Amino acid sequence: MTVRRITPAAHAAFLRDRPASSFLQNPQWPAVKIDWRGESVGLFAADELIGAALVLYRRLPVPALVPYLGRRCLAYMAEGPVVDFAAHPAQTVLPPLIRYLKTQGAFLVRMGLPGEVRRWEAATVRKALSAGKHSRLAELTAAEEDHQAATLHAQLQQLGWQPPQTEADFDAGQPQFTARIPLEPAQPEADPEEDLERRVEAALARMDSTSRRQTRKSTRSELSFSTAGAEQLDAWQALYEETAQRDDFLLRPKEYFQRMFAALDGQPDTECTLHLAHWNGTLLAAAIYIRQGKAAWYAYGASSSQERKRYAPRGLQLQQLRQALQAGCTWYDLGGISPSLDPEHPLAGLTRFKTTMGADAVESHGEWDLPLNRPLAAAFKAYMARRW
């Protein structure tokens, strides 16, 4: 097993054959995260490319010319590396990868392996939240579970990796628990338009009665739905800033979204789309949709306080679901949720909303850390906790 840098084109071709891979592993993503240095790395068994990872490096907050410390960095793989650990065990794949990252100055490696560990049905989570008899998702019976995950986790710990600490609140990095709507596959022999409507109805049927009624009402409330690209980001940003002020969250600058559209839109097998909902010329809601391969994400959303009973955000969710279905996606991701089932928890409302939309709760492997220099790793974690 050897590890070496590969070209972005080779990396993109590798991901094309693995359509469930995250856009966070897209080799163009470093153009969005300009505070990080990125590179595509390939894992080779003899001459065969069997795995790949987009690695983002973040230097210590010291001048680059400072001896030793100036080139030390965190090496971060969000949703990577993309490799079949059943065919290539962690003990075989990860040590040469770590040796390579050491040559790049890594003092800490953070890895968020892709894949689902457990999945709970949306209706099950909704009922548990209403009943208030459970404190954590882990207490519920999962609809699906990867029984090989425990073996992989044991292998990681034997190699010195530190498992994620499951927290009820969101932490830095990617959330360990997300909400995903599974999508019906197309029927090859069916009429394409009729089959698309069948699959849209299947997605609507997953919602609770209130969400389904509001979503249907959005299509009958004289809303005008459209799609756009980066040319409409001024309108997006104004509504996004209004939403951030109302809901009290930190926002990203318009330049971030400009870089996102430039990096992801128009690539083979990748889409980045701005969805807009207007009423009488007024923008009521907007959303940024991302697709890579056969997976789709509701990445960002914004909404006005005006005309709330027209349910413009619900209508945009339906538009994004339809786009994901047209692309043949297997799931549509609504983003992170808390593993807490306490109905009084500050994030309980988010979980309730996403599950009423028909999204199952999904647990990933989470983000694992491997400290290569423990004092530096501890100091860096403390520093970044104040910034992320």
> Quick one: tokens of 214?
């509001």
What are the residue ranges spanned by the domains of the chain? 2-115+366-385, 184-329
- Is 23:64 a contact under the CB 8 Å cutoff? no
Which CATH number applies to 2-115+366-385? 3.40.630.30
The residues, ordered by sequence, that sit 6+ positions from 238 with a Cβ below 8 Å of its Cβ are: none
CATH of 184-329, picked from 3.40.718.10, 3.30.420.40, 3.75.10.10, 3.40.630.30, is 3.40.630.30
| Residues 337 and 347: beta-carbon distance below 8 Å | yes
Element (H, E) at 150: helix 149-158
> Are 361 and 179 spatial neighbours (Cβ–Cβ below 8 Å)?
yes
CA distances from 141 to 12, 134, 183, 355 (A): 37, 11, 22, 16
Dist. CA 163–CA 367, nearest whole Å = 7
**Tokens representing residue 116 in the block:** 């689902």
CB contact at 8 A, 196 and 325: yes
- Using the structure block, give the residue that is written with the tokens 């390939």: 42
Residue linked to tokens 């090496």: 75
- Alpha carbon distance, N-terminus to C-terminus of the chain: 35
Report the pLDDT value the prediction gives residue 76, as an integer from 0 to 100.
97
The first and second tokens of residue 4, run together, are: 């070496």
CA distance 257 to 263: 10
Q: Residue 209 is encoded by which pair of tokens?
A: 């009665």
Give kind and range of the element (H or E) at residue 235.
helix 233-247
Question: Mapping DSSP to helix (H, G, I), strand (E, B) and coil, where does residue 361 land?
Answer: strand
Greatest Cα pair distance, the chain, in angstroms, is 66
The residue among 305, 383, 353 whose CA lies nearest residue 69 is 383
Query: Minimal CA–CA distance to 265: which of 292, 286, 238, 297?
Result: 292
**Nearest in space to 233 (alpha carbons), one of 300, 315, 323, 321:** 300
- Give me the residue label for tokens 């894949």: 115
Which phi and psi angles does 116 have, rounded to 5°?
-100, 130
Structural tokens at position 320: 């994004």
Radius of gyration of the chain (CA): 21
pLDDT of residue 385: 67
User: What is the C-alpha separation between 296 and 333, in angstroms, rounded?
Assistant: 6
Which is it for the CA torsion 225, 253, 75, 117, positive or negative?
A: negative
Distance, CA of 113 to CA of 159 (rounded, Å):
15
> In 3D, which of 363, 364, 301, 357 has the Cα closest to residue 183?
357
Domain 2-115+366-385 shares a fold with domain 184-329: yes
| pLDDT of amino acid 68 | 81
Strand blocks (E) in 21-105: 37-45, 48-59, 73-77, 82-83
pLDDT in tens, the chain (388 residues): 999 999 999 999 999 999 999 999 999 999 999 999 999 999 999 999 999 999 999 988 888 878 788 889 999 999 999 999 999 999 999 999 999 999 999 999 999 999 999 999 999 999 999 999 999 999 999 999 999 999 999 999 999 999 998 877 776 679 999 999 999 999 999 999 999 999 999 999 999 999 999 999 999 989 999 999 999 999 999 999 999 999 988 899 999 999 999 999 878 899 999 999 999 999 999 999 999 999 999 999 999 999 999 999 999 999 999 999 999 999 999 999 999 999 999 999 999 999 999 999 999 999 999 999 999 998 877 776 665 4
pTM (two decimals): 0.94
Residue 314: how many CB atoms within 10 A of its CB? 24
Q: Which two tokens stand for residue 230?
A: 């980066």
Q: Is the dihedral of CA 302, 308, 313, 315 positive or negative?
A: negative
